[in-house]
Structure 1
Amino acid sequence: MQTSSLACCFLLVSLCFDFSQNETSAPLRKQRRRMRYRGLRSSSAGHRSPREPRMKLPDPVVPSIPLVNFDDSVMGVFDSLIGLGGHESSYSVLPGKKGHCIANGMIMYDKAVWSPKPCITCLCSKGKVICDTTMCHPLKCPQTVIPEGECCPVCSDTASSLDSSIISLDDISELSGDSPEPNDLDNANVLSPAPTQTKKDEQLGTEVVEFKEKESHKKDKKRKRKSKKNRQKSKAHHREKKPITRKDPAEEEIQDESDEDDGTFKMPSHFPIPVPPIEAPPLPSGCSTSDTTVSCINAKLTQIPPISDPDLTSLDLTGNSITTISDEAFNGIPNLEWIDLSKNNITSPGIGPQAFKSLKKLKRLYLDGNMLVHIPTALPSTLEEIKINDNHLHAIDEDGLQDLKNLVTLELEGNKLSEANVSPLAFYPLKSLSYLRLGRNKFRIIPQGLPATLEELYLENNQIEEVSEICFNHTRNINVIVLKHNKLEEHRIAPLAWINQENLESIDLSYNKLYHVPSYLPKSLLHLILIGNQIERIPGYVFGHMKPGLEYLYLSFNKLTDDGIDPVSFFGAYHSLRELFLDHNELKSVPFGIDEMRKLRFLRLNNNKIRTVPPERICKAHITDDDHENSEEEENEESLLEHVHLENNYIKTRQLSPHAFPCIRSYCSFVLKPQKSK
């Protein structure tokens, strides 16, 4: 009897204890959450590097195992150890100074290690944040728990053996769905970089565990009802797309009772939300992009936009208000091949000493229309083309162009350069230079120390007064020399200045102070431009030494008269000349020798004082029977003359002989009108 009384008392006490435990379940769960968070915070502190500054921890996201019922089976998807919830990243992936990282507004030193979330370890490696997560294997057991301080769940025989040091999957689901208490948690928004996050999202759909049904018919019906209810909640969640809020204590009690009845996994109220891939910072307004090019022309930028794209090869920032280029400006786009920074306000002090050094593939750099006073330092050796026209360059020392052994084109027009501030050794490092533009500067002589590989030299709009014998001694490959708009006179051009150049084909001496066609021209010359001088005379045989012969001769806008052109002035060019421009001179008749030019196609004699055109002066006279045997070859050779300009002279067109132009192939290209009158 005493034994039965004791048993009854024990049963009553246990029932009271269970009832009180149910009433206090919600406060106990809050307490367990606080204890769990404190434990994770203390454990994650152990991962922090001694060099790392103390930082705030983010909201905890612990593993949850959402399940989806399909028919009578149960599918489990392990979520949080891979996806870390549905937050967006706030890491700055742009490298900082000396390899530092910026995480949540804080600077992390290179090789610093920290734990922004439980079971996640991050490393700062050369300016980029690399995060790793603990991977857990799926378990096939009815009950799982996560011991304190651990990241992965383990199997448990009975749920009643859990104590305050172990958190069950029920509490895990609550933690993943609830917001932390404001007094207990520090708010922070930290995520991993985009490539790591994307990889985690792909793994979400692959780790699926199937569980077979082992319960009785009654429990199976309850599970189906509960599954249907949860699917409805999940659909509502997807429609609203609102953040998950914490459940009421009454709902938690109902859910706990249902779990105790079923003895199976707790069904969460939502499906896992895939984390969207993290996109690069948006480009400023006025910018456009293609596969490998970003163009920000006239976009009112004041600094180089922060771009992180290793596939980018071209960047056009023309017409903005950029003043500085920091050492880290191009760290996020290391594979650039072409940069155009023309028409900005960039100054030499505003360019970092290592601003371009990291661009190992850069080939073209345009800095026209800025405020530079010297060429930027530490330029990459891969450069093939540099343009720094229309700046304020006032010097180039012997180290100004060092290491640019692959440079082919250099343009420095519109600056303040002269022979006094350009070192004779300035161009020595340029072992591949073939195209050099130094126009609109202040040179009075040809610059010294020109590279041996030079092929084209442009020195227009300077103050050059002399061409010495030694200025082209080392440039045996030079092909084009442009010296227009200078102060050259023919007697200041040395006889041996270029006569021995074997590849020089084009010389432009327009708008100088020449009074006659210069002698001692190169033997290989094909193209001679003498427009806008004061030339009064073409010396005889001045072209006679040329082989294969001059092809283009432009003498427009000079002071040529009939006495200034000898019958042998064009000797040596009879079988080669293709274009002859003698317009805007003072000729009163068609010069001698034109009828001998068998390859002439373009002839300009307009705007002179010509009064008549004799029949044999432009077209060769017809061959007679006496000369037929000796001139058979010339008879078969047809004239190539296509365009003749004689307008704006004093020719009376009605008095022209019908045999004046028998060699003209088309009268449509024969221009005689208008003519001047007294």
Structure 2
Amino acid sequence: MQAPSLLCYFLLLSLCTELCPAAGGAGRRQRRRRRMMMMHRGLRRNPRAPGMELLGRSIPLINIDDSVMGVFDSLVGLGEHESTYSVLPGKKGQCTANGMIMFDKAVWSPKPCVTCLCSKGEVICDTAMCHPLKCPQTIIPAGECCPVCSETASSLDSSIISLDDISEMSGDSPDPKDLNTTSVLPSSPTQMEKHELLPTEVTEIRDKDSHKKGKRKRKGKKHRQRHKGRRREKLPVPRTVAAGDEQYESDEDDDGAFRIPSHFPIPVPPIEAPPLPSGCSTSDTTVSCINAKLTQIPPISDPDLTSLDLTGNSITTISDEAFNGIPNLEWIDLSKNNITSPGIGPKAFKILKKLKRLYLDGNMLVLIPSELPSTLEEIKINDNQLHAIDEDGLKGLKNLVTLELEGNKLSEANVSPLAFYPLKSLSYLRLGRNKFRIIPQGLPATLEELYLEHNQIEEVSEICFNHTRNINIIGLKHNKLEEHRIAPLAWINQENLESIDLSYNKLYHVPSYLPKSLLHLVLIGNQIERIPGYVFGHMRPGLEYLYLSFNKLTDDGIDPVSFFGAYHSLRELFLDHNELKAVPFGIDEMRKLRFLRLNNNKIRTVPPERICRTQTNHEDEQDHSEEENEDSHLEHVHLENNYINTRQLSPHSFSCIRSYCSVVLKPQKTK
């Protein structure tokens, strides 16, 4: 059994000895040939032909009898290099070229712009075809087979880019000494002309066109840089693929040409907007050009921009096209410029379908701009020269929540009673520093806050707030109101009105018929001499903040029942800068009082019972008093700038105050 086994082993060994050297040599030569091809021709493996090592375009080969024999991968940019690899003789389908034996499917370039193929024993050569050019002067750049328009010739057509200009622009040019740059190759027939030719002529043209498309040279780095501005992105181009053709898509890293039909027009990409002016900065979706000395809105093209701040420049006009490049703005600040009403185009803001906030403070507007987007939620046109608002001035602003028109020339004479009617969502309205003598008519029912400071208002009629049942705050400081010019039914029945500021008017008494829902009453800087009794008695849940600083209150002006209805609710009481000679009665009853100001009066002493309740002789009353004292909330008491002798103060004057640091007694005035 061992003899036959040994015999088989020696036979196999001898067979391997004869075959392996040849196979090994062939393998080494095959690998060396592949390396030489890659080194000299800068080629990569074609994913569509895994059995071949050459990269290029698949081109149909046409035999003499017009039959398709096969497909080979064409080469790009061979120059005058001949094949440098050797081919083993005796292979079927080999070719002989220039004294060399080429194996089947071998490709070489005998001269510039010519590519040859060995196909089953036949040599098929192809000359690169060039696209016709429409320019006065043409040149053949170094490293190219086809001419291009000269730099000194006319520029490209404004709407069409030629095929050569959009072909592949990446890669380095071959050495100029390896290229033929003396002749211009003939151009290929047009598509129309092909239909008029004989079948055999069409076959030849198809063969040439196919090889031409596969032979298009890579353009050099200089050419690529010249077109870099136009080559931001590649647009997909539809085309009809003929039978036997294959489509290729260009890629940044591909060595192949960007293949596109010559008859298909390519639109020029839009011109990029110039960079932002000096003094401007950008962050995420915001552009800020504050105090940048601009005279016009900068040409910006960025659909992602949502905020634009142009405060403090010298802009005078806003054209209809000013925001065309930034249609998604949500906030624009054009404050402190020189914009005039005639300088704003009628449709300047119409394109901004997402605009929510528009600030135009400190300009020279006489009218509210027209055609404002209905998406606006906030408008500020303070400190301009607005002198009228007609019934269409705020038309379409159904989503507007905040409107500020302070520092203008508005009055009841030039503001239509229907001006605010379109504002179905308005809750915050500022009309301060205008020329109103009465509360404007036609206020929206949704209004919650109204500010009319620094006007000339003399009267609050009983119909002013009939339709504003949600109003919460009214600011009327620095006007000319007197208490008898406030109608008894002006606001007493308001259920949501919590704050009224009547500072710096012409009031001599705390007004009666105040809203029953009032929590916050500011009467600073009037000429108030007295607080009528029970003036706060109808309020529910009760007044919490009462500011009477800088008035003319005297001891006789405060009755024992002046604070009736507010004892259980007052938290802050300001009576400073008046003419009081004693601490008013009733303060010791205010169990929720936290902050008391009596400074800058004429007070000489603080009896123990005026701020903190004194203890009585009855035990039950004493216990009740101590319990209430423990519950006192007083945290700050100001008594400075009076005539108090601090050494004579009773130790029980501030016994309900937890910390003596909260009592301010110094300095005091002396005669």
Task: Give the shorter-chain TM-score range.
Answer: 0.5 to 0.7
Aligned counterpart, 2:519: 526
TM-superposition CA deviations, 1:590-620 (whole Å, max 9, x none): 0000000001011000000000000010112
For 1:492, give the aligned amino acid.
Answer: R
Deviation at 1:637, TM superposition (A): 5.1
Q: Distance in 2 between matches of 1:253 and 1:382?
A: 66
Deviation at 1:254, TM superposition (A): 12
Residues 617 and 429 (structure 1 numbering): CA distance in 2 closer, same or farther, change over 3 Å?
same
Are 2:515 and 1:494 aligned?
A: no
Are 2:586 and 1:657 aligned?
A: no
Alignment of 1:195-234 (within 5 A): 233=175
Q: Distance in 1 between matches of 2:574 and 2:638?
A: 10
Aligned counterpart, 2:181: 252
Deviation at 1:178, TM superposition (A): 5.8
Are 2:557 and 1:587 aligned?
A: no
Q: Distance in 1 between matches of 2:150 and 2:275?
A: 32
Are 2:357 and 1:364 aligned?
A: yes
Are 2:391 and 1:398 aligned?
A: yes
For 2:586, give the aligned amino acid.
Answer: G
Paired residues in the alignment total 495
Of 22, 29, 39, the match for 1:71: 39
**What is the TM-score normalised by the length of structure 2?**
0.67
**What is the TM-score normalised by the length of structure 1?**
0.67
Residues 161 and 187 (structure 1 numbering): CA distance in 2 closer, same or farther, change over 3 Å?
closer
Deviation at 1:420, TM superposition (A): 0.3
TM-superposition CA deviations, 1:507-559 (whole Å, max 9, x none): 00000000000000001000000000000000001001111100000000000
Are 2:128 and 1:187 aligned?
A: no
Deviation at 1:267, TM superposition (A): 7.1
Gaps of 5+ in 2: 1-35, 47-55, 60-71, 77-113, 118-123, 186-211, 233-271
Alignment of 1:366-515 (within 5 A): 366-515=359-508
Q: Distance in 2 between matches of 1:266 and 1:552?
A: 87
TM-superposition CA deviations, 1:307-346 (whole Å, max 9, x none): 0000000000000000000001001001000000000000
Q: In 2, are the aligned partners of 1:77 and 1:204 still within 8 Å (CA)?
A: no
Aligned counterpart, 2:190: none
Are 2:540 and 1:547 aligned?
A: yes
Are 2:348 and 1:351 aligned?
A: no
Deviation at 1:160, TM superposition (A): 7.5
Aligned counterpart, 1:575: 568
Aligned counterpart, 2:288: 295
Deviation at 1:668, TM superposition (A): 1.5
Deviation at 1:631, TM superposition (A): 3.1
Residues 137 and 334 (structure 1 numbering): CA distance in 2 closer, same or farther, change over 3 Å?
farther
Residues 405 and 138 (structure 1 numbering): CA distance in 2 closer, same or farther, change over 3 Å?
farther
Q: Distance in 1 between matches of 2:471 and 2:634?
A: 32
Deviation at 1:251, TM superposition (A): 6.2
Q: Distance in 2 between matches of 1:390 and 1:164?
A: 66
Aligned counterpart, 1:126: none
Q: Distance in 2 between matches of 1:412 and 1:160?
A: 78
* Structure holding more helix per residue: 1
Quote the RMSD (CA, aligned, Å). 3.9
Q: Distance in 1 between matches of 2:407 and 2:133?
A: 77
For 1:653, give the aligned amino acid.
Answer: T
Are 2:556 and 1:563 aligned?
A: yes
Deviation at 1:635, TM superposition (A): 3.6
Deviation at 1:173, TM superposition (A): 6.0
Deviation at 1:174, TM superposition (A): 3.9
Are 2:319 and 1:326 aligned?
A: yes
Residues 447 and 181 (structure 1 numbering): CA distance in 2 closer, same or farther, change over 3 Å?
closer
Q: In 2, are the aligned partners of 1:603 and 1:643 still within 8 Å (CA)?
A: yes
Deviation at 1:627, TM superposition (A): 2.9
Q: In 2, are the aligned partners of 1:170 and 1:266 still within 8 Å (CA)?
A: no
Higher RCO (Cα < 8 Å, 6 or more apart): 1
Residues 328 and 658 (structure 1 numbering): CA distance in 2 closer, same or farther, change over 3 Å?
same
Q: Distance in 1 between matches of 2:146 and 2:220?
A: 11
Are 2:535 and 1:535 aligned?
A: no
For 1:326, give the aligned amino acid.
Answer: S
Q: Distance in 1 between matches of 2:578 and 2:360?
A: 42
TM-superposition CA deviations, 1:90-135 (whole Å, max 9, x none): xxxxxxxxxxxxxxxxxxxxxxxxxxxxxxxxxxxxxxxxxxxxxx
For 2:521, give the aligned amino acid.
Answer: L
Gaps of 5+ in 1: 1-67, 79-135, 145-152, 194-199, 209-226, 234-246, 257-262
Q: In 2, are the aligned partners of 1:541 and 1:568 still within 8 Å (CA)?
A: yes
Identity %: 75
Residues 286 and 269 (structure 1 numbering): CA distance in 2 closer, same or farther, change over 3 Å?
closer
Deviation at 1:394, TM superposition (A): 0.2
Aligned counterpart, 1:281: 274
Q: In 2, are the aligned partners of 1:599 and 1:641 still within 8 Å (CA)?
A: yes
TM-superposition CA deviations, 1:282-308 (whole Å, max 9, x none): 100000001100000000000000000
Q: Distance in 2 between matches of 1:393 and 1:301?
A: 24
Q: Distance in 1 between matches of 2:644 and 2:406?
A: 45
Deviation at 1:172, TM superposition (A): 11
Are 2:630 and 1:627 aligned?
A: no
Could you say which structure has the larger radius of gyration? 2
Residues 663 and 632 (structure 1 numbering): CA distance in 2 closer, same or farther, change over 3 Å?
closer
For 1:383, give the aligned amino acid.
Answer: L
Residues 249 and 660 (structure 1 numbering): CA distance in 2 closer, same or farther, change over 3 Å?
closer
Deviation at 1:363, TM superposition (A): 0.2
Q: Distance in 1 between matches of 2:130 and 2:469?
A: 92
User: Helix, strand or coil: the match of 1:365?
Assistant: strand
Q: In 1, are the aligned partners of 2:141 and 2:148 still within 8 Å (CA)?
A: no
For 1:557, give the aligned amino acid.
Answer: F
Residues 658 and 299 (structure 1 numbering): CA distance in 2 closer, same or farther, change over 3 Å?
same
For 2:315, give the aligned amino acid.
Answer: I
Q: Distance in 2 between matches of 1:399 and 1:541?
A: 47
For 1:71, give the aligned amino acid.
Answer: M
Are 2:606 and 1:613 aligned?
A: yes
Deviation at 1:570, TM superposition (A): 0.4
Q: In 2, are the aligned partners of 1:313 and 1:336 still within 8 Å (CA)?
A: yes
Are 2:657 and 1:646 aligned?
A: no
